[in-house]
């Protein structure tokens, strides 16, 4: 019975403490087996424990060994201890004894004041018989990080506001320019606009297409979809003009489609405004990564720890550092359909 309870907790991503304890215990045992413990009992382990206190956790036992070695090497060169040596090794693709050292990727409940993630995905999915909401980030090193996984849907104001407040309370810099990718929820967008002054909002194009076509007569769906995709293939200003024209023409035959498209006019061309191209743009213009994260973490055989351990870097990740610089100059799109916080409950349906 206890085994089933533990497996259930891990499957839903609500506890990883036992796995972490095993990694630390087995990591030290491996140091002993390798005859390196006496050497590592100095600055290396001291730095490891200091980093652990700040929320860092190795991916596995060998990751702990590699990190300790590199911290000792850094101390010889005068580099401050206790800071995971990820940037240099990850960007250059260098590997230590076995594999590249990864930073802490499961950041649920951890301090976020030192986190460097220029891109965040926020959204909700049904898992089993209940809704779950997730915040997923990607650092300039290309690794995905799980920031939050909670019960409820971001279409509920209490859930959306609670999720955003939690990020701020844990030290996330809400003034820093950050690309926040959502699926266009009015409730969530309203919270982002209020609480994140540095947010540059982008709406998942796949979700926009689905929502717009849901209001269009079946005989017109292929044509409308072609117009949407054609507009998004154009430069930003031209795309906006084409989308506005399509929205006006849809007002009579499908007013719901017109309203949904108008809500995402600016946010659907955010990446064009940032002048991104190539594989990185393809990965950022939808919430596909968030959908996969939900599937891997909450599916029948899902596990947060397993997914994060096996997840590859974001395709096109080398462009993230340049994106971080561009975000500072970007105009933040506003979801004009997002209700102000003073509206009544009857007006809060996402």
User: In the chain, what's the furthest Cα-to-Cα distance?
Assistant: 78
Quote the tokens at residue 48. 């490891």
Find the range with the poorest average confidence among 44-48, 54-58, 73-77, 124-128: 73-77
Answer whether residue 341 shows pLDDT above 90: no
Express each pLDDT in 261-318 by its tens digit. 999 999 999 999 998 878 999 999 999 999 999 999 887 777 898 898 888 999 999 9
Least confident of 11-15, 75-79, 174-178, 196-200: 75-79
Structure tokens at 156: 């509920």
d(CA 207, CA 214): 11
State pTM to two decimals.
0.68
Structure tokens at 223: 């044509």
Mean pLDDT score across all residues of the chain: 79
Q: What are 34-44's pLDDT values in tens digits?
A: 555 555 556 56
Tell me the per-residue pLDDT of 229-247, one tens digit each, with 9 for 90 and over. Answer: 999 999 999 999 999 999 9
Contacting residues for 296 by C-beta, under 8 A, at least 6 apart: 302, 303, 306, 307, 311
Q: Token digits for 289? A: 């990564």
Q: In what order do the strands lie in the sheet with 119-127?
A: 144-151, 130-138, 119-127, 178-182, 199-203
pLDDT tens for residues 94-129?
A: 444 444 567 889 999 999 998 889 999 999 999 878
| β-strand pairing of 119-127 with 199-203 | unpaired
């Amino acid at each position: 019975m206890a085994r089933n309870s533990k497996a259930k907790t891990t499957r839903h991503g609500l506890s990883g403490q036992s796995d972490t304890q095993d990694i630390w215990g087995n990591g030290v045992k491996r140091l002993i087996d390798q005859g390196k413990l006496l050497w590592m009992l100095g600055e290396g382990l001291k730095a490891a424990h200091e980093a652990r206190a700040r929320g860092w956790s190795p991916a596995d036992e060998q990751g702990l060994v590699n990190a300790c070695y590199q911290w000792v090497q850094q101390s010889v060169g005068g580099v401050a201890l206790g800071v995971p040596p990820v940037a240099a090794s990850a960007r250059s693709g260098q590997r230590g004894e076995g594999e590249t050292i990864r930073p802490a990727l499961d950041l649920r409940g951890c301090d976020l004041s030192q986190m460097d993630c220029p891109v965040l995905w926020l959204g909700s999915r049904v898992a089993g018989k209940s809704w779950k909401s997730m915040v997923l980030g990607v650092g300039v090193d290309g690794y995905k990080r799980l920031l939050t996984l909670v019960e409820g849907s971001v279409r509920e104001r209490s859930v959306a506001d609670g999720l955003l407040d939690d990020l701020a309370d844990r030290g996330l810099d809400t003034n820093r320019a950050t690309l926040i990718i959502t699926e266009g929820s009015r409730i969530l967008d309203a919270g982002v606009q209020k609480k994140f002054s540095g947010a540059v909002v982008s709406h998942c194009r796949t979700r926009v297409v689905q929502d717009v076509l849901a209001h269009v007569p079946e005989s017109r769906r292929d044509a409308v979809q072609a117009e949407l995709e054609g507009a998004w293939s154009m430069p930003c200003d031209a795309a906006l003009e084409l989308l506005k024209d399509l929205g006006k023409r849809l007002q009579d035959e499908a007013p719901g489609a017109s309203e949904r498209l108008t809500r995402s006019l600016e946010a659907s061309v955010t990446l064009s405004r940032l002048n991104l191209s190539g594989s990185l743009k393809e990965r950022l213009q939808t919430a596909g990564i968030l959908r996969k994260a939900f599937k891997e973490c909450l599916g029948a055989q899902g596990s947060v720890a397993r997914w994060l351990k096996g997840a590859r870097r974001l395709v096109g990740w080398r462009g993230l550092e340049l994106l971080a610089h561009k975000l500072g100059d970007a105009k933040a799109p506003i979801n004009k359909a997002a209700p102000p916080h003073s509206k009544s409950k009857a007006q809060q349906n996402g």
